[in-house]
Amino acid sequence: MGLPPTLPSLRFPALLALLAATGCKVGPAFKPPPPPAVTGFSATPLPAATEGDAQRFLQGGAVNGKWWTLFQSPELTRRVERALAQSPTVASAQAALRRARESVAAAGGPRYPTADFAGGFERQKLGPASGLYAPYNTWSATVTVSYTLDLFGGVRRGIEGLQAQVDMSQWILAGTYLTLAANVAEATILEASLAEQLQAAKDVAALLGEQTGLTSRQVAIGVKGQADLLALEAQLAAAQAQLPPLARQLEATRTQLAVYLGGYPSSAGLGTLALADLQPPAELPVTLPSQVVQGRPDIQAAQARLHAATAGVGMAAAALLPQFTLGGSFGPQALRSQDLLKGESFAWSVSAGLFQPIFHGGALRAQKRGAEAALDQALADYRQTVLVAFANVADSLDAIRFDGQALRAEQDSEAAAARSLELAKAQYRIGAASYLQILDATRTWNLARMGLIRARAARLSDTTALYAALGGGL
């Protein structure tokens, strides 16, 4: 049995790889846009601290990566961590990231020569013109190698664009984490607020019902007029009308929380939580604008899209240039299977090809112009994303500042109503006030308490929005 002959022409893969590596990459090189040349987020200077249970602003402070723990609520922390672990939204973003990474791995194949094996058997009979009158067999086993030189970087640009897609998927996943954590925190705050508002509204309705009953008896004995009774009945009906919408909104919030946590509403497993269990952080970070650009997932995702669009221009430019392809095949061919490994049965071939687009009806140049337009669009989208992000931060800071003022006013209102109630009780004990006056003072205090509940919830919710606007420390 002879040995197969040496095929020097199949020694060129290393040379081809060297030629491709020394090739250029056409099209623009990507450079991250510089951060905005601004030093703040709002035209109005921030105070050192807010009013109403003051929160201090820390200029240049960093955001805690687990900012939800700063509210000092074990139940909130449990909910957020459960959502991050079980939400299908997170699972979907994770799968998208894995798919993007595999796309990069698949796109890297053309950087190397391809090798394929083909083996076969054929039996045939030719016509008389061939000089062969009897049927015969053909056996073959061939290895084919081909390689397209990436001299102008079309393949590398494609890989670069797909890697940018991976970066974008990573930031989309980070944004999913941030959005989900913020949604769970805000829904938790809303749930606690609605539960307390509903209880206060029930207390108001109960007091009005008691007042209406007492007034009805006074009307019966001639102490009060019918107009007084009708006025109280109207107030009672209005108070009772507030209960179903609050109860409906509370149940809807709990249902939404169950979905955020990756569970069904019938088995959400939500623990009890009062608004007082959520403590607003005493210090609020106000990161630098450049840090917001680097830390906000939506801005970084927009930058990755810009990078992919830049690579797309390079791919379109490379499609206009020549493509060089080298190939070869090697393997035995024989009429009998036992002759396949004999030296004289081996055959080989080498080939080289050049492909240069000449006329495609303007399609290739139109594709390049389209890629350039896509790059312009990605740049404009990036700038818009930065503008919206900075507006989010400014709005959140303004909201917290005004929340402090509203909270102080509601605290004063509730304190005044509480003092009025205590005074009415003291007067009632010495016979200087009626029981109806106590009921009225209690109702006024409950209404003030509802306003205070809403003000506290608004500040907690806007604090959550600030952490999200700053990027959540991701």
Is residue 181 very low, low, confident or very high in pLDDT (cuts 50, 70, 90)? very high
CATH of domain 8-469: 1.20.1600.10
Q: Which residues contact 53 (CB under 8 A, 6 or more apart)?
A: 280, 404, 407
**What's the pLDDT at 346?**
82
- Nearest by Cα to 28 from 161, 169, 170: 161
Task: Spell out the domain ranges in the chain.
Answer: 8-469
Is residue 419 very low, low, confident or very high in pLDDT (cuts 50, 70, 90)? very high
Which range among 77-86, 292-301, 401-410, 424-433 shows the weakest confidence by mean pLDDT? Answer: 424-433
- Over residues 276-291, mean pLDDT: 92
Query: What is the pLDDT of the chain when averaged over all its residues?
Result: 88
- Does 316 have pLDDT greater than 90? yes
C-alpha span between 315 and 153 (Å, rounded): 8
**What's the pLDDT at 74?**
95
**What's the pLDDT at 3?**
40
- Over residues 372-380, mean pLDDT: 96
Structure tokens at 74: 């074990």
In percent, the amount of the chain with pLDDT more than 70 equals 93
**Which strand ranges, in their side-by-side order, compose the sheet holding 323-334?**
114-124, 136-149, 323-334, 346-355
Is residue 302 very low, low, confident or very high in pLDDT (cuts 50, 70, 90)? very high
Instruction: Give tens-digit pLDDT for 210-248.
Output: 888 988 988 888 887 888 889 888 988 998 999 999 999
**What's the pLDDT at 135?**
79
C-alpha span between 82 and 59 (Å, rounded): 32
Structure tokens at 302: 């927009």
Q: Which residue has the tokens 């797309």?
A: 312
- Does 6 have pLDDT greater than 50? no
**What's the pLDDT at 24?**
77
Apex 347 CA angle, 346 and 349, nearest 5: 150
Instruction: Give tens-digit pLDDT for 7-42.
Output: 444 444 455 455 555 567 888 999 999 988 888 888
- Does 188 have pLDDT greater than 70? yes
**What's the pLDDT at 133?**
64
Is residue 433 very low, low, confident or very high in pLDDT (cuts 50, 70, 90)? confident
- Does 2 have pLDDT greater than 50? no
